[in-house]
Each structure stands twice: as structure tokens, then as C-alpha cells.
Amino acid sequence: MSIRQISVFLENKPGMLNKMTEVLAEHSIDMRALSIAETKDFGIARMIVDDVYAATNVLKEADFVASLTQVLAYQIPDETGGLNKLLQTFTDAKVNIEYMYAFLGAGTAKAYMIFRVADTRAAEAALAAKGLKTLTQEEIAQI
Amino acid sequence: MERYFQEDIECASREKIKAIQDERLVNQVRHVWENVPYYRKKMEEKGITPEDIKSSDDLYKLPFLSKADLREAYPYGLVGVPLKDCVRIQSTSGTTGKRVVAFYTQKDIDLWEECCARAIMAAGGTNEDVCQVSYGYGLFTGGPGLNGGSHKVGCLTIPTSSGNTDRQIMFIMDLQATILCCTPSYAAYIGERMKELGYGPDDIPLKAGIFGAEAWSEEMRCDIENTLGIKAYDIYGLTELSGPGVSFECSAQAGMHINEDHFIAEIIDPDTGEVLPEGTQGELVFTSVDKEAFPLIRYRTRDICTLTREKCSCGRTHVRMTKPKGRTDDMLIIRGVNVFPSQIETVLLNHGYAANYQIIVDRVNNTDTLDVQVEMTPEMFTDNIGEIETRQKELVDGLKAMLGLKAKVSLVAPKSITRSEGKAVRVIDKRKI
């Protein structure tokens, strides 16, 4: 099952990212993972949070432009060669990755990867056929 | 059914209009000759006396007045009646230099309000309408002009003035306002705020808007009409000539009818001062033929537009002017190219952006730079950086095609450009010349 990532537009000027984190902090929204993509003019903050609906609403109220994107989350053992093995499965399933980022689980020896691919559903099926199971929104919230 | 405030004048034959203009112009020139030494001196320098002006065909012989003359004659140099006969002044914002102060007798105010009343009825207004005037009141002509016009039509008038947007919306909803008068940028902002409060076009009682006092594009009209669910009419005027109502749009929305019984319009070549034939683009020049307190003859507006006397479907016979591309004051010269903010607005709206933008002009290493800042919107945002950059590039290309200039496009945070309750500040020129 794919999960929902929030992507937020950030104008390129000092304090914008801080303003966003402030809004999330004020509303006790917990970020599971965060990645920033930047160009010379603007940035996009991509994040996985515990409460997608609340986060979307409070960001909108604070005049941020945000959108939801379907991404795939996988758990990998936090050990040498762990990512390599996972990516080999992607290659075997002929899945092209647009972007990805990693985060660690609290107090566990587990790492997690978020993948954005062109055709989420087809990729998920191809990877499932190779024995890879995605994490659900609920599982992510409980990490 | 088309409604008129003064049908006999608004739909008069061309011959009748010319006869009115001829008679009034001859009297006005004499009035000015006798009462405004500043203009009399200009006429004498050209070797003209009132005897040389026998009809409006002789108008071209008279000297021009420019904004520079208004500054020189400030404050009382162009007043045509004793001050005891003047009852009011109005004034411009003075953003482009010294304020213009214009004077009115009671008759001047009555005629001005009639012009505004014609505009309100052309927008479908009757004495059954509730008309909210959200132009600023005070020195600015917008509020007082439309307020007076609304009274003359017999509308229930809500004089909210500008500002306090949530209260504006409360009045529109609670008092069931059907006509809204304000600047187009404020109308757009009211629309934006209504959307935020969850009101769609069908929830709002408004049916028409009369928007003026700044240049706005056809695309912005479309946007406002869709957001508020109204028909948006343009109204034009200058403080120097009275205020809004010098010309106004009718149901055809195909140019603004100039109130020719009060104002004679000419189009001239801005460089040579030569009068241009109908249909040619040039600078708009007005002569107010029956103003008493502030009688301006051949006043150069610096507005660029064209005139047409072609028959209009609304039945009015008065000449129509196109939406000015912008005042020559608003015109920017960037790397030697003439740029009007309204051209930039057209490109932005055509590319799906909202009319929330600011134009920053600067000079870096002796070269002018043009930075167009536009707010990111939920509609234009995507998680895909490549797509946003492609749209940004398309916008740069669109601006290049329209202006012949390469501009930088900066995407800025929503609501980061200050919303205007009156005239929007579109241009920040940082060049030190």
C-alpha cells in the first residue's frame, strides 16, 4: 500500500522552512521523515507525518501551498548492503525511481526508505511479486 | 433590456452631440479666457483668441495642458470661479509626484454624479439595487463619485469605503448587496477572501461590479467575474476632469462610452501633438466643456488608447475608448523597451497564475533587470520540480514574446505580496537614475 507524503512549496528566503516547522510544532504534528529538494529559486519540503489530515489543514491555514503525493515505504535492515539488496529488487522489477530518501526508526536497528516512482501501483505490484512488502500509513504512524 | 440614466443625451444623434459640444466649447473657451489667466497666457502665446474658436472643429488650435501645468499652477492657478463658489476639492494620491488638487462647484458635483449614475445604470443598476461602494472615501474621487452616482440612481447605498475586508463581505451577505464598486485589485482580494470563507459565486448576492481607478486586463476581468459570479464593468476617469465616470462600460463590454456632452476626446501623437484619425492608437486628450471650477482644455491624460464611433449594441451613441494600456506614467522603460504592467498581468493570467504579482525593476552593472514575482497557488503547485521549472520557463518565454524582453520569474510564497484595498502597488522601481 502506498502512503501519503506532504509536499510543501517553500519560497527561497531565510526563515521559510522554520516557519513551516513552527506551524507543525504548534499543532504537535510529528514528522517521521523529511527531505528537501531545492532549485536556485525555490524548494519543496517533502515529509511523512503522523497525521496527514491535520498537517494539511494547519499548513493551509498558515498560507502554505501543499500537495499530497503517493509514495512507497519499505523497511530495510540497518546493515551493510541492506539498501543495495532492496535496489536490486527494484532493478529486477524494472522500476524507475524519481527520488528517494531514508530515515531511521526510533530505538530500533531498522532503516526505512521512501520511494517516489512514476507508476506507484504497477511498481508496488512488481515489487510485491519479488517478495517486498510496503509499509502502510498506520505502520508508519506507529514507528 | 438596456437601461439609461439620461436616454435623450446618452442615445442622442451624432449631430445633436456635436451641436452640444460646439456650443459648450465656445462658451468654455470664453469662460477660461476671462477667468483663468494661466491658460489665457498660453492662448496669447499661440496667438489665439476666443474668436478663433467657432466650433469643436477648431479645438486643435488650442494649446495643451499637461500635468506639469497643473503642478506649476498649483494650487489655485487653474480655478475658473471665485473660491466662494467652490464647494469641494478632491485630490490624487500623488504617487507620481505632486498631488493634483481639483475644485468643484455644486453644479460640477451634480454633473459628475450624473456621469457615475449613467455608469451604474449601464451596469444594470436601478433603484431596487443595493450598491456597496468600497472605493476609498475622502480625497480620493472613487468613493464620493460612485456614492453620489448611486444616490442619483436611487440605489440603497452602503458607504463601506475600502478596507476591513471581512466586514465588506459581512455587509454584502447581510444586506444582500447586488452591485460592488471598488478597484479591480480590491475586488479580486474580496473574491479571494470569500473563497477562503467558503463562499462560492452562487452564495453571493452580487450581480455586477463597477471597477476602475487602475489598469486591469481582460483576463483579470474573467477571473473576477468567475470568482464573484458577476458581470464586471470598467469605469474610467481622472481627478483632473472630475473623477470616475468620464467614461464607462455598457452591457456590450466593448469599450467605454465617453460622456461626450461633458468631455470632448481627442487622440494625439504623444511626440508631435498632432491629432490622429479615429481608430489610431495614441494619447488621450480631454476638454471638459462645462466644468465651472476646474475647466481644463486639451488636458493630456498620458493614457494610451484608441477611440471608435462605431454603433454600439447598447444603443448609446457616445464615442467609445478602449481600455487604456496603462498611463504613460505607469509605463516602464526597461532596456529601452516600453513595458506596461497590464501586459505582464495578461501573460501571468494566461499561464494560470493569479493576479497577485509584483514587478521589481533594478539596475545591475548598468543593465536594467526585470523580476516578476508571482505567488505560487495550489493549482500551479506540484511535487514535481521539473514540472514547476517547465511552467516557470514557459512563463519567461511568454513574457519574452509579449514584451520583447527577458524577465526573471520568481515564485514566491502565497499571501506574501501585500493585498491592496485601493490601488495595487504593482511596480517597485529600484533604479537610481
The nearest CA of chain A is from the CA of B424 a distance in Å of 21
C-alpha cell at B319: 464615442
Q: Is B387 on the interface with A (CB under 8 A)?
A: no
Give yes or no for a contact between B215 and B324, defined as CB atoms under 8 angstroms apart: yes
Q: How confident is the model over B146-158, as a mean pLDDT?
A: 98
C-alpha cell at B246: 468620464
Q: Are residues A51 and A16 in the same domain?
A: yes
Last residue within a domain, chosen from B328, B358, B379? B328
Beta bridge partners of A72: A115
pLDDT at residue B328 in the model: 65
Confidence of residue B277 (pLDDT cuts 50, 70, 90): very high
Q: Are residues B421 and B357 in the same domain?
A: yes
Last residue within a domain, chosen from A37, A69, A101? A69
Nearest-CB residue to B381 (from A39, A65, A116):
A65
Q: Is B139 on the interface with A (CB under 8 A)?
A: no
- Measured between CA atoms, the residue of chain B closest to residue A8 is B383
B22, containing H or E segment: helix B14-35
Last residue within a domain, chosen from B281, B311, B328? B328
Give yes or no for a contact between B131 and B150, defined as CB atoms under 8 angstroms apart: yes
Contacts of residue B204, Cβ cutoff 8 Å, sequence gap at least 6:
B172, B173, B194, B228, B229, B230
The whole domain housing B350 covers 332-429
Give yes or no for a contact between A127 and A93, defined as CB atoms under 8 angstroms apart: yes
Residues 43-62 of A with CB under 8 A from B: 44, 46
Nearest-CB residue to A67 (from B382, B410, B413):
B382
Highest mean pLDDT: which range of A85-89, A135-139, B287-291? B287-291
Q: Quick check: A85 pLDDT over 80? A: yes
pLDDT at residue B51 in the model: 96
Last residue within a domain, chosen from A69, A102, A119? A69
Q: Are residues B305 and B336 in the same domain?
A: no
Q: How many angstroms separate the CA atoms of B199 and A65, rounded? A: 20
pLDDT in tens, B296-309: 999 999 899 999 99
Q: Do B392 and A41 touch (CB under 8 A)?
A: yes
pLDDT at residue B127 in the model: 97
Average pLDDT taken over every residue of chain B = 92
Q: Are residues B289 and B408 in the same domain?
A: no
Confidence of residue B354 (pLDDT cuts 50, 70, 90): confident
Q: Are residues A64 and A95 in the same domain?
A: no
Q: Do A39 and B415 touch (CB under 8 A)?
A: no
The nearest CA of chain B is from the CA of A80 a distance in Å of 31
Give yes or no for a contact between B173 and B204, defined as CB atoms under 8 angstroms apart: yes
Radius of gyration of chain A (CA): 16
Other beta carbons less than 10 A from residue B6's beta carbon? 15
Q: Are residues B297 and B366 in the same domain?
A: no
Q: Do B413 and A16 touch (CB under 8 A)?
A: yes
Q: For the purposes of burial, counting CB atoms within 10 Å of the CB of A4, is it exposed (0-12), middle (13-18) or buried (19 or more)? A: middle
φ, ψ for residue B168, nearest 5 deg: -55, -45
Q: Are residues B357 and B219 in the same domain?
A: no
pLDDT in tens, B8-24: 999 999 999 999 999 99
Q: Looking at beta carbons, which residues of chain B come within 8 Å of A66?
A: 381
Confidence of residue B433 (pLDDT cuts 50, 70, 90): low
Q: Are residues B287 and B354 in the same domain?
A: no
pLDDT at residue A108 in the model: 67
Q: Which of A72, A68, A83 has the alpha carbon at shortest distance from A128?
A: A72
pLDDT in tens, A93-125: 888 999 999 888 776 668 889 999 988 888 888
Q: Do A7 and B389 touch (CB under 8 A)?
A: no
Give yes or no for a contact between A17 and A23, defined as CB atoms under 8 angstroms apart: no
Q: Quick check: B93 pLDDT over 60? A: yes
pLDDT in tens, B25-79: 999 999 999 999 999 999 999 999 999 999 999 999 999 999 889 989 999 999 9
Helix or strand or coil: residue A48? strand
* Residue that wins the pLDDT comparison between B218 and B289: B289
Give yes or no for a contact between A34 and A18, defined as CB atoms under 8 angstroms apart: no
Q: Are residues A49 and A81 in the same domain?
A: no
Q: Quick check: B189 pLDDT over 70? A: yes
Q: Do B376 and A11 touch (CB under 8 A)?
A: yes
Q: Do B383 and A44 touch (CB under 8 A)?
A: yes
- CATH number of the domain that B403 lies in? 3.30.300.30
Q: Are residues A63 and A37 in the same domain?
A: yes
Minimum mean pLDDT range among A35-39, B27-31, B89-93, B192-196 = B89-93
Q: Are residues B127 and B208 in the same domain?
A: yes
Query: DSSP string of B349-406?
Result: HHTT--S-EEEEEEEETTEEEEEEEEE--TTT--S-HHHHHHHHHHHHHHHHHHHSS-
Q: Are residues A14 and A59 in the same domain?
A: yes
Q: Which of B160, B162, B164, B139 has the alpha carbon at shortest distance from B150?
A: B160
pLDDT in tens, B205-260: 999 999 998 878 888 899 999 999 999 999 999 999 999 999 999 999 999 999 99
Give yes or no for a contact between B170 and B159, defined as CB atoms under 8 angstroms apart: no
Q: Quick check: B332 pLDDT over 90? A: no
Task: Look at chain A and report how many structural domains it folds into.
Answer: 2
Q: Do A11 and B412 touch (CB under 8 A)?
A: yes
Confidence of residue B98 (pLDDT cuts 50, 70, 90): low
pLDDT at residue B99 in the model: 76
- How many CB pairs below 8 A link A and B? 47
pLDDT at residue B402 in the model: 87
Q: Do B412 and A67 touch (CB under 8 A)?
A: no
- CATH number of the domain that B143 lies in? 3.40.50.12780
φ, ψ for residue B221, nearest 5 deg: -60, -50
Q: Which of A143, A128, A116, A109 has the alpha carbon at shortest distance from A3?
A: A116
The whole domain housing A60 covers 3-69
Last residue within a domain, chosen from A42, A69, A96? A69
Chain Cα centroid distance, residue B269:
21
Q: Quick check: B273 pLDDT over 90? A: yes
Q: Are residues B297 and B318 in the same domain?
A: yes
pLDDT at residue A128 in the model: 87
Contacts of residue B167, Cβ cutoff 8 Å, sequence gap at least 6:
B160
Give yes or no for a contact between B321 and B304, defined as CB atoms under 8 angstroms apart: no
Q: Which of B325, B161, B302, B181 has the alpha carbon at shortest distance from B244?
A: B181
Q: Are residues B286 and B385 in the same domain?
A: no
Q: Are residues B149 and B69 in the same domain?
A: yes
ipTM score:
0.86
Q: Are residues B208 and B164 in the same domain?
A: yes
Q: Is B415 on the interface with A (CB under 8 A)?
A: yes
Q: Do A37 and B385 touch (CB under 8 A)?
A: yes
* Residue that wins the pLDDT comparison between A86 and B90: B90
Residues 60-99 of A with CB under 8 A from B: 63-67, 69, 98
Q: For an interface test with B, give the residue of A9, A40, A68 to mutate (most B CBs within 10 A).
A: A9
Give yes or no for a contact between A34 and A46, defined as CB atoms under 8 angstroms apart: yes
pLDDT at residue B170 in the model: 95
Q: Do B414 and A7 touch (CB under 8 A)?
A: no
Considering only the C-alpha atoms of chain B, give the largest distance between any 2 of them, rounded to a whole number of Å.
74
pLDDT at residue B94 in the model: 59
Q: Do B381 and A67 touch (CB under 8 A)?
A: yes
The nearest CA of chain A is from the CA of B385 a distance in Å of 8
Q: Is A138 on the interface with B (CB under 8 A)?
A: no
Q: Do B376 and A9 touch (CB under 8 A)?
A: yes
Q: Quick check: B97 pLDDT over 60? A: no
Q: Are residues A39 and A56 in the same domain?
A: yes
- CATH number of the domain that A58 lies in? 3.30.2130.10
Q: Is B271 on the interface with A (CB under 8 A)?
A: no
The nearest CA of chain B is from the CA of A108 a distance in Å of 30
Minimum mean pLDDT range among B41-50, B322-331, B350-359 = B322-331
Give yes or no for a contact between B188 and B223, defined as CB atoms under 8 angstroms apart: yes
Q: Looking at beta carbons, which residues of chain B come within 8 Å of A69?
A: 383
Q: Are residues B313 and B345 in the same domain?
A: no
Minimum mean pLDDT range among B93-102, B162-171, B238-247, B317-326 = B93-102
Last residue within a domain, chosen from B328, B348, B380? B328
Task: Look at chain B and report how many structural domains it folds into.
Answer: 2
pLDDT at residue B355 in the model: 85
pLDDT in tens, A8-58: 999 998 999 999 999 999 999 999 899 999 888 899 999 999 899 999 999
Q: Is B411 on the interface with A (CB under 8 A)?
A: yes
- Measured between CA atoms, the residue of chain A closest to residue B376 is A65
